[in-house]
Amino acid sequence: MNMTSKELVRLLKKNGWYEVKQEGSHLRLRKKRLHRHYRSYAQQGFG
């Protein structure tokens, strides 16, 4: 199953992640229950 970046971000947000900031095509997310754990995902070229 192929997933677009928008679908991935939507799924992460449903599972407790929220946007911290965005730089260009990279979106930085943080999970509400964890401290200082970041994941960056490029909006372009995913899937």
pLDDT reported for residue 39? 65
Instruction: Kindly report whether the global pTM for this prediction surpasses the value 0.75.
Output: no
Q: Which of 45, 33, 38, 40 is nearest to 2 (CA)?
A: 45
pLDDT tens-place string over residues 6-47? 899 999 999 888 899 989 888 898 886 655 656 666 666 555
pLDDT reported for residue 36? 60
- The C-alpha atoms of residue 38 and residue 20 are separated, in whole angstroms, by 9
Domain range summary for the chain, segments of one domain joined by +: 5-42
pLDDT reported for residue 30? 85
